[in-house]
Amino acid sequence: MAVERTLAIIKPDAVGRGISGDILSRIHAAKFKIVAIRSMRLTKAEAEGFYAVHRERPFFKELTEFMSSGKMVVMALEAENAILKWRDTMGATDPAKAAPGTIRKELGTSIQNNCTHGSDAPQTAAFEIGYFFAGHQLV
């Protein structure tokens, strides 16, 4: 298996509920290396840029409003097969359909308020990591 990187976000719903530490503990327990991490709040325009691929979807406005509604924690994670590994750790987008033991099953409250985001492919991960971190921050 190849070592790869993925973007992980602890979303505003989770930060607002004070469960970032629980999610970070799960990241450490899953043996991810946190290559870069920062706490931030996106502007509406920044959220629209990040989710530009979804611009024509009906949920775009609600998604970008939510993602710019409060602080979040963004991270570049590294591990063998990191993209799939992080997606498995998070669980399905809908917490009601997520596997037992996953972050979204145990901590998520709805499809939107599902606590975490993760890249879905190597190309997406490259774009997403680059959106939040400059190359010199990823050493």
Active site residues: 117
Phi first, then psi: what are they for 110, rounded to 5°?
A: -165, 175
Using only C-alpha atoms, what is the Rg of the chain? 14
Closest CA to 76 of 12, 111, 127: 127
In single-letter form, the type of residue at position 113 comes to N
In single-letter form, the type of residue at position 100 comes to P
Quickly count: other Cβ atoms within 10 Å of residue 7's Cβ.
Answer: 26
Q: For residues 110 and 113, give the distance between their C-alpha atoms in angstroms, rounded to a whole number.
A: 5
